[in-house]
Chains A and B, each alone.
Chain A
Amino acid sequence: MTVTSLLFFDLWDEFMLWSILVGVFTFGWLYHHSVTYRSKDGEELPNVDEIEVGVFPKENDDLRLEVAWTILPFILIVYLTYISWAPIDSVWTSTEGGAHGYECEAGYYSNNVMDSENGFVTSDCYHILEVTGKQWAWTFECNPDVEVTDRTYELSNDICDTGTYQVEGYGMQPSVSLKAGETYLLVMESEDVTHSPWFIELGVKEDVLNGQKTTMWLPITSIGEGLILCTEYCGDAHSLMAGVLITHD
């Protein structure tokens, strides 16, 4: 079981790089000062700033330095925000003519195209798939009723199929079988409390609410089998509320 989300790891690598740089800088500084400026004469003095009880000490500041370590981190976070920006589009692209086009007409395929640099997927059109959460099981519906989709045909089993799958430790769990190269829009709702399907390998999750539909994009780019876990606490059997995503050619 490995996380294969390029979108995630692309950002992860960049953030790790900056974390390490900031960490090396800060901890190097901490190490240097705590060794260099340790008191060599034991407990007693030198009392550098002539600190005295009941007297507010002499000011010790340097405006240029303080401004520097206000501005520089700010520039860094502006940059980190900038690189976090583009992937948001792929997560929340519009359902009407966005990066994934419109809902597929009968016989049409998504034809996913992935930008291998940042994991951003664009496609011609998408298929709607309904996910329902309840305590404590998932239900996948390839051909939901008109409330969810206005398409007039049924998806072929090749594009979307549901079934069950024996998962070691978790028992018999519902599965959904999807086609690589296709993009799916999950339209989700809960029958009782809040749940959240986590497609571990794809690195995405979104809460499933009662009384409000939520959506999530699921562009399938590789083949394999992956676990779906519930990641919004929902009561007794929360940790065993699982599902299986099977992707095939």
Chain B
Amino acid sequence: MNNKNISRSLAVFTILVLAMIIAPVATSFPTGVSGVKDSGCNCHGAIPSDTVTPMIEGLPGIYNYSETYAITVSFTGGPTDSGNINQGGFHLWVSYGTIATLDSTVQSFADNEVGHTEAGNDQTSWMVEWTAPANDKNIKFTLTTNSVNGNAGGGAGSSGDEWNRVSGSVSAPVEVIESANPFTVLATLIVVSLVLLFITLTYIFYRTSPDTFDWEKFGPWIVGWITSTDHKKVGTLYLISGLFFLGIGGIMALMIRIQLSVPGNDFLTQDQYNQFFTMHGTTMIFLAAMPLINAVANWIVPLQIGAPDLALPRLNAMSFWLQPVAAILIFTGIFSGGAADTGWTGYAPYIVSETAHSGTTMWVAGQIMLVASSTLTGVNFLTTILVMRAKGMGLMQMPLFTWSIFISNLMLFISIPAFGVGLIQVYLDRVIGTAFYTIEAGGDPLLWSHLFWYFGHPEVYVVIVPAFGVISEVIATSARRSIFGYRSMVYAMAGIGLVSFIVYGHHMFTSGMDPSFRFVMMLTTMLVAVPTGIKIFNWLKTMHGGSLVYRTHTLWALGFLLTFSLGGISGMFFPSIAMDLHLHETYFVVAHFHYVFVGGTVFGIFTALYYWFPKMTGKMLDERLGTLHFLTAFVSYNGLFWPMHRLGVVGMARRHHTYFISGEDVLGSLPAEFADWNLFISINAFLFFLSTFFLVANIIISLVRGQDAPPDPWGGWSFEWMTDSPPPTPSFPLDNLPVLRDANEHVANEPSKLGIWFNRLMVADEEVSN
């Protein structure tokens, strides 16, 4: 890597940083001073001038509720004094309360915003009335005045004019302690996380060769990672970005829980709350769960099938690098004060309406990139798994984790175009004014819902099926048994994949779609329980007669069985339409999908991390810290999500920024015990978040002074345990690829029916060599 490339990378990085800094300027702060640009009083020059002195008179030190005060605004100095008497203008903004005009020299722009009129521009002082709010607020006034030289009529415009700004403040009758702006908190935490990440990376760089440490090698080292196409390095990048965004999504969840911990809270305003739950969902699903799954898949799939790398390594790197760029786009809104506020489902027509924030456009743009990323990943993994398996490994000899990645990528590959189409329509609607979702122009209000859920439901299986694969591997290895019913496991996963495309309507039982369609969806949704049940019973039967070794990953896998089964059972309540009419959009739904997303996907990813970490790094993780992580996380996790079931049934709706408890039998009040439950949930949310630091600490400690890992620490059978820990690059030598033997000789010699069918689709080897 030469210096030219380093400077090029630095230039690209600088441009990205500049883009992020400029982004907040691109959109005006929604609660800020409108009509007057932050950079100045827009028609009278860009820079304020010291010679102009604006004044606000008549402000009380402390206001009385709802009282009206007469206020005089005026200015001295500037060109007005030097022979241009009475030429000037002003703009006054107040954070709370209303400003009323008294005469024709002043006009109102909004309740809290006034300025001079045409008739009032020959004065240096104006009178207005301010009515204080009826509650306790810290009031801030901002006054901008122009001192004008009067040459505008002569064609000189605003040249020579000067202006300045002053602010005033009024205190509430009861002192208000300003709470931090949640967005400032979030943005600070994101920056802090980035700094911590950078420090960690630097430290890891130092640890790679402490004896020959040299800063000049840092550039090439980091560029080596950024430009790598090795499946293991890209997998690590996925892992780092996935864990990073899991943390960011977690911080957002904590802020949501702070808001909901007491009834009637105002830590987050409605507007902020809407952005928080939107960003939380989007971050967790698209920027945390999917990359974490891709991390494990990138690392393990080529190793498991005995391939030196993925089929299309450059495409793989591109799939990854689309993600951070998409993340920057999606997060742009947070730093410009108007993040997407549409919910992760982004229902039309709200998403194209004027009330949706400007950040929504950036959100849609980022999602389009993620669609591209997922599509490329799908192409890559399907190709790799179909054509790069080692000799002797038919489709029905593939390890179950590879099967799960194959099926989930197939589902994703088929379903995500629908989402992409919807996103592009919405993007065009928002940006260039097409009318896909404009109802007046004949747009269909349900089109988006159909497109989204046609993708959205397979998507939730896309993130859970790989967890099935992980659990299959871990349960079998830990119990020292071959998995019970390998074939039915594969067929069950394929069944889930197939059924996932015909059940999406259960998200839309209340949406006003055709009743007969709802009925069909009820039947198909109920069916999902069958293959899922087969998998759970097969896992349980695998343990039968085995010799279960309790390691951290075993604990996580058993925990998964418990939490995922609970999530599966609660899922059975939704297809029953008459119940869904009540449960839809309540906390029962929130409880259910967190039980399957966290108790399923995240627990599955943690299992995979503890299971394959020695293979990835060559270092063993600490079992005691791992057990501590499992116990704290498992208990706090259940404390966090279990009570939500009850909240939903009794009447707490999701996506509502607060709830009220105002007494027994008072209309609109939840039962008094719900205050306790919500506080309990919030405390557990913090505990669950903190428990993850055991994992982080474990990883860091093990990297620094962990025991060296043997090639096969747990006693698994698949190819990844044949290579060294960590594996070399390429993962298997090209001239000596492994060959799978089969303990069941009769099966190995006859290709499966599915294998024959797929082989027909493939180009024969002879034709390629010709």
- Smallest CB-CB separation from A167: which chain B residue? B668
In the complex where A168-B660, A211-B439 touch, is A48 in contact with B744 (Cβ < 8 A)?
A: no
A25-37 CB mask vs B (1 if < 8 Å, else 0) is 0110110011001
Contacts of B510 in A (CB 8 A): 196, 205-207, 232
Smallest distance from the beta carbon of B412 to chain A beta carbons, Å?
25
Task: Return A113 CB to nearest CB of chain B, in Å.
Answer: 18
Q: Which residues of B contact A167 (CB under 8 A)?
A: 667-668
Do residues B740 and A54 form an inter-chain contact, with CB atoms below 8 A? yes
Interface size class of A (residues with CB under 8 A): 35 or more
Given A58-B744, A66-B485, A73-B529, A169–B349 Cβ distance below 8 Å?
Answer: no
- Residues of chain A in range 130-170 having any CB-CB distance to chain B below 8 Å: 135, 165, 167-170
Number of interface residues, chain B, beta carbon within 8 A: 117
Is A3 in contact with chain B by the CB < 8 A criterion? yes
Instruction: Select one of A5, A92, A239 contacting B582, CB under 8 A.
Output: A5
Contact call A227/B529, Cβ cutoff below 8 A: no
Q: Which of B270, B488, B512, B670 contacts A238 (CB 8 A)?
A: B270
Cβ–Cβ < 8 Å partners of B224 in chain A: none
CB-CB under 8 A from A101, the residues of chain B are: none
Q: Give the residues from 55 to 82 in chain A that come closer than 8 angstroms, CB to CB, to chain B.
A: 55-62, 65-66, 69-70, 73-74, 77, 80-81
Say which one of A38-46, A103-111, A177-185 lies at the interface with B: A38-46
Q: Pick from B439, B545, B651, B742: contact of A55, CB below 8 A.
A: B742
* Known interface pairs A15-B572, A168-B666; A2-B650 also in contact (CB < 8 Å): yes
Q: Please name all residues of chain B whose beta carbon is closer than 8 Å to the beta carbon of A12 when the two chains form the complex.
A: 573, 579, 649
Out of B356, B741, B743, name the residue touching A235 (CB < 8 Å): B356
B546 interfacial by beta-carbon distance below 8 Å: yes
Residues of A within 8 A of B549 (CB): 38-39, 43
For window 129-158 of chain B, which residues contact chain A by CB distance below 8 Å? none
Cα-based distance from A178 to B691 in the complex (angstroms): 52
B548 touches A39 (CB 8 A): yes
A22 B655 Cβ-Cβ under 8 A = no
In the complex, what residues of B have CB within 8 A of residue A1's CB?
650-651, 665, 667-671
Per the bound structure, the CA–CA distance linking A92 and B544 in Å amounts to: 48
The residues of B that contact A77 with a CB separation of less than 8 Å are 526-527, 529-530, 572
Question: Counting CB contacts under 8 A, is A242 at the interface?
Answer: yes
Determine if B744 and A196 form an interchain contact, defined as CB atoms under 8 angstroms apart. no
The 29 listed contacts between A and B (C-beta, < 8 Å) are A3-B651, A12-B579, A15-B576, A23-B569, A27-B562, A39-B549, A53-B716, A54-B739, A54-B740, A58-B743, A60-B485, A66-B488, A73-B529, A81-B523, A84-B522, A84-B577, A91-B581, A168-B667, A194-B349, A204-B581, A211-B445, A212-B446, A225-B667, A229-B653, A231-B586, A232-B510, A233-B345, A239-B655, A240-B270
Q: Residues of B at under 8 Å CB distance from A?
A: 264, 270-271, 273-274, 341-343, 345, 347, 349-350, 353, 355-356, 393, 397, 439-440, 443-446, 476-477, 479-488, 510-512, 515, 519, 522-523, 526-527, 529-530, 533-534, 536-538, 540-550, 558, 561-562, 565-566, 569-570, 572-573, 575-579, 581-582, 584-586, 649-651, 653, 655-658, 660, 662-663, 665-671, 711-712, 715-719, 721-722, 738-744, 747-748
- Interface residues, chain A, with chain B CB atoms under 8 Å away: 1-3, 5, 7-8, 11-12, 15, 19, 22-23, 26-27, 29-30, 33-34, 37-41, 43, 45-62, 65-66, 69-70, 73-74, 77, 80-81, 84, 87-88, 90-92, 135, 165, 167-170, 192-194, 196, 198, 200, 203-207, 209-212, 214, 225-227, 229, 231-240, 242, 244
